[in-house]
């Protein structure tokens, strides 16, 4: 019996470092390749293990809800503020206490109650044919709803949350009536039924299927930096136009993170958030993922610099989630499939 008890103590002693080791469980809607290198650096620097679960954002939110208080997740990382807002509204998140790193973040890039915050900035401007569209012919989003653009506009479907958030931001700035007029005019000018992702819209412009598209800049940057020569050549046929630079600015969104309501490793999770807001991580986002850093003093990648500087919308990002339902209804009324 003494030998059995001794063995049990030995086993417990061997296992205790594993049990006590700090860890973070991260549910991420970002592809593994776009976040794993940073997580590995975090583990190397802190010794805190990161258990990564990737998947569709809406599916991860559903999973969080179904797991309830038994969820192992500490953090939810996703690619649109609309989804972060949705998770908060469903009672799946909690306040992130402010740290030195978080205090440097502009107020517009975080939730008023501290439930989520931005990690990188995404811009969604106009992308036009280098050969067929002169830059001076388009100054504002409103311009592409004019009759001369009929049959010349490509964009992905209304089910895409990037587009839903863009319309929600428009509602917040110009009101429902003017926003509905814009959506109606845009749909009338579609070159084809909405299909594919942002890269497909860029490729459609390059192929001459349309002359103007709306897409996030990091997709174009990713194509320009691709190892595939065909992809590079397609991207080179497209240029960025920053709309509404004399009034409200270009539409922006974030990739961001929320602390889950029942986070079992809360302290370690906050340490990971701080790391993702560090200069090192922000620079990685800018140079590797070609996303704009949320901290103003971090340099952009050369590719992002080649797109030019721009004025951004100043809509509180929480509004994009708040007005999501109104935006979807507006798009449905216009026949945006």
pLDDT digits (tens, 9 = 90+) for 280-312: 999 998 888 899 999 988 989 899 999 999 999
Neighbouring-strand partners of residue 52: 26
Residue 30, helix vs strand vs coil = coil
Domain ranges of the chain: 2-121+253-299, 123-251+312-334
Cα–Cα distances (Å) from 147 to 144, 152, 187, in that order, read: 8, 10, 12
**By the 8 A CB rule, do 67 and 73 touch?**
yes
Cα–Cα distances (Å) from 238 to 121, 124, 143, 162, 309, in that order, read: 21, 14, 18, 20, 17
- Report whether 285 belongs to an annotated binding site: no
Confidence of residue 26 (pLDDT cuts 50, 70, 90): very high
**By the 8 A CB rule, do 237 and 206 touch?**
yes
CATH numeric code, 2-121+253-299: 3.40.190.10
Neighbouring-strand partners of residue 116: 258
- Average of per-residue pLDDT values in the chain: 92
Tell me which residue of 90, 42, 89, 21 sits closest to 276, measured CA to CA.
42
pLDDT above 90 (res 20): no
pLDDT above 50 (res 51): yes
CATH numeric code, 123-251+312-334: 3.40.190.10
Q: What is the pLDDT of residues 131-176, one digit of tens each?
A: 999 877 899 999 999 999 999 999 999 999 999 999 999 999 999 9
Residue 106 phi/psi, 5-degree rounding, is -55, 145
Structure tokens at 60: 């991860």
pLDDT above 80 (res 114): yes
- Report whether 162 belongs to an annotated binding site: no
Classify residue 278 as exposed, middle or buried by CB count within 10 Å of its CB (0-12, 13-18, 19+).
Answer: middle
Secondary structure string (H, E, C) spanning 144-178: HHCHHHCCCEECCCCCCHHHHHHHHHHHHHHCHHH
d(CA 107, CA 147): 39
pTM reported for the whole predicted model? 0.89
In the prediction, which pLDDT does 296 show?
86
Entry field: residues in the chain: 337
Confidence of residue 15 (pLDDT cuts 50, 70, 90): very low
- What does the CA dihedral 172, 177, 179, 184 come to, rounded to 10 degrees? 160
Pairing of strands 292-293, 238-241: unpaired
Tell me which residue of 120, 34, 36 sits closest to 81, measured CA to CA.
120
pLDDT above 60 (res 7): no
Q: What is the pLDDT of residues 169-216, one digit of tens each?
A: 999 999 999 999 999 999 999 999 999 999 999 999 999 999 999 999
2-121+253-299 and 123-251+312-334 in the same fold: yes
């Amino acid at each position: 019996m003494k030998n059995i008890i001794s063995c049990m103590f030995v086993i417990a002693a061997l296992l205790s470092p594993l049990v006590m080791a700090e860890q973070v469980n991260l549910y991420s809607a970002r592809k593994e390749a776009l976040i794993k290198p940073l997580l590995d650096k975090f583990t190397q620097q802190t010794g805190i293990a990161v258990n990564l679960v990737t998947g569709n954002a809406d599916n991860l939110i559903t999973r969080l809800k179904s797991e309830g208080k038994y969820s192992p997740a500490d953090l939810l990382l996703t690619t649109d503020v609309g989804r972060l807002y949705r998770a908060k509204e469903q009672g799946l998140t909690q306040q992130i206490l402010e740290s030195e790193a978080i205090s440097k973040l502009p107020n517009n890039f975080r939730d008023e109650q501290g439930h989520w915050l931005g990690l990188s900035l995404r811009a969604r401007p106009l992308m036009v044919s280098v050969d067929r569209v002169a830059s001076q012919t388009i100054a504002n989003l409103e311009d592409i709803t004019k009759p001369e653009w009929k049959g010349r506009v490509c964009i992905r479907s209304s089910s895409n949350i990037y587009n839903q958030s863009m319309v929600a931001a428009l509602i917040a700035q110009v009101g429902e009536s003017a926003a509905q007029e814009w959506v109606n005019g845009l749909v009338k000018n579609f070159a084809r039924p909405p299909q594919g992702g942002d890269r497909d819209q860029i490729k459609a412009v390059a192929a001459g299927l349309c002359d103007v598209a709306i897409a996030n800049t990091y997709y174009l940057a990713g194509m320009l930096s691709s190892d595939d020569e065909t992809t590079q050549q397609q991207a080179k046929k497209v240029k960025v136009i920053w709309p509404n630079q004399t009034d409200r600015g270009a539409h922006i969104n974030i990739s961001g993170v929320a602390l889950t309501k029942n986070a079992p490793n809360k302290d370690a999770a906050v340490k990971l958030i701080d790391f993702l807001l560090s200069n090192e991580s922000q620079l990685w986002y800018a140079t590797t993922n070609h996303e704009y850093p949320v901290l103003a003093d971090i340099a952009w990648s050369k590719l992002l610099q080649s797109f030019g500087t721009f004025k951004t919308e100043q809509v509180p990002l929480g509004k994009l989630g708040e007005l999501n339902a109104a935006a979807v209804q507006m798009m449905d009324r216009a026949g945006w499939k």
